[in-house]
Structure 1
Amino acid sequence: MRHPHLPTTESAVTAIREIAREYNLTMTVTHDIGADQTSHRASAGAFAVLDPDGSLPHEAFVELGGSPAVTVRLFPDDDAQITVDGVDFEDLPRDVVPAFLRSVYGGLAHVTGRFFPPGQWLVVPLPGDETYKELILRISLTPWLARAVRG
């Protein structure tokens, strides 16, 4: 499934803001602008504000209030990291962030597990046949993760 293209960090923040409004969530955003401020910009060199191509990189960290606890880090390289109740989803394409959040807040995300090999996973299905799955490393599940368990 094609996701709406989010060409900039700011467009992704705007999309997250709409989802926060839709699900009645509080939201705080921290912006880091400039190669000397963003975490993915080692190639720009020490004390450089612009990337080698002359652009001004923009990174944002978004915290969404409510349950589950969700944070989104948007990187200037068109990728993102989403953490849901302590479960980290690294290197997500920035374009999937809105669908990912709608899956979490819309009740589609769920926890699966098995006895062998032992483990539990947080599964986040997106429209189409796209699914993201991460191993839950904590010993005890948070209340939200426990409610999301499916047999």
Structure 2
Amino acid sequence: MAHPDLPTTESAVTAIREIAQEFHLEMTVTDDIGADRTSRRTSAGAFAVLDPDGSLPHEAYVELGGSPVLTVQLFPEDDAKIIVDGVEFADVPRDAVPAFLRSVLGGLAHVKGRFFPPGWWLVVPLPGDTTYKELIPNSTLTPWLNGKVR
């Protein structure tokens, strides 16, 4: 379920920190602040720190310890990229990140395989009727992914 109380990158990092504590996971955060430091700033001029509207964009890269290997890149544009054991979920709304992580860490995420077209998919259901599904690259299942096959 979306969390409308995550208006900033910092509030999303705080929510992820609470989840890491809940699941007893180590967490590291790298912050990039300023248009000259964030990865997607095309609207700001070369060497500009502020966006044209005067705001200071904030991007964060979060790594969670444990299994599965989880990384979250939070972008100033209110979205995130989450990588679960090598499977990339791009353009996840920032508000959905806590529910996404809870689904993965809480055991709701699972792997489905298909013969045609062939491949394995990581499926991450969220509360409500939102589900994220991504093809597992090279059909290579890590031990964690293999344990989630249904």
Paired residue secondary structure (2:127): coil
- For residues 15 and 81 of structure 1, the distance between their equivalents in structure 2, rounded to whole angstroms, comes to 16
- For residues 42 and 9 of structure 1, the distance between their equivalents in structure 2, rounded to whole angstroms, comes to 19
**Residues 25-44 of structure 1 aligned to structure 2 (within 5 Å):** 25-44=25-44
- For residues 60 and 3 of structure 2, the distance between their equivalents in structure 1, rounded to whole angstroms, comes to 20
- For residues 68 and 2 of structure 1, the distance between their equivalents in structure 2, rounded to whole angstroms, comes to 23
- For residues 4 and 36 of structure 1, the distance between their equivalents in structure 2, rounded to whole angstroms, comes to 28
- For residues 49 and 97 of structure 1, the distance between their equivalents in structure 2, rounded to whole angstroms, comes to 27
Give 1:130 shift: 0.6
- Report percent identity of matched pairs: 79
Task: Give the total of aligned pairs.
Answer: 150
- For residues 117 and 7 of structure 1, the distance between their equivalents in structure 2, rounded to whole angstroms, comes to 39
Q: Which runs of 5+ in 1 are unaligned?
A: none
Deviations 1:106-132 (A, max 9, x none): 000000011011011000000011100
Structure 1 ranges of 4+ moved more than 4 A: none
- For residues 59 and 2 of structure 2, the distance between their equivalents in structure 1, rounded to whole angstroms, comes to 23
Partner of 1:142: 142
The question of whether the paired residues in 1 share the 8 Å contact of 2:123 and 2:133 is answered with yes
Give 1:42 shift: 1.2
Q: Which runs of 5+ in 2 are unaligned?
A: none
Amino acid at match of 2:74: L
Aligned residues: CA RMSD: 0.9
The question of whether the paired residues in 1 share the 8 Å contact of 2:2 and 2:96 is answered with no
Partner of 1:127: 127
Deviations 1:92-119 (A, max 9, x none): 1000000000000000000001101101
